[in-house]
Amino acid sequence: MARHAFRMQLKPGMAAEYRARHDAIWPELSALLREAGISDYWIFLDEETGALFATLELAEENRRDSLPAHPVMQRWWESMAPLMETQADNRPLEWSLTPMFHMA
């Protein structure tokens, strides 16, 4: 397992809607993420800046790179695009974070 951390950015005033959509996450999306080898997925909000900080575990044989082509993922990104900064294909802009400290 490998841990991956990254940052995304909400548009102003979209935190409540972002939370509501994740509270009602589509079962087919959750299943897709698990099937791709993603687990222990957390997203945190910096309420002052609207920055989202996420961590997830990736299985050694994960298929995370296949997700952008999947119709369920594309539909989710399309539904979330009004809330977040995105690329032209509605994929959220994502900045990788560098590990600086870990205490087990």
Cα–Cα distances (Å) from 79 to 11, 38, 58, 85, in that order, read 14, 21, 25, 13
Q: Which residues are catalytic?
A: 22
What percent helix, strand, coil does the chain show, rounded to 5? 35, 30, 35
Three-class DSSP category at 16: helix
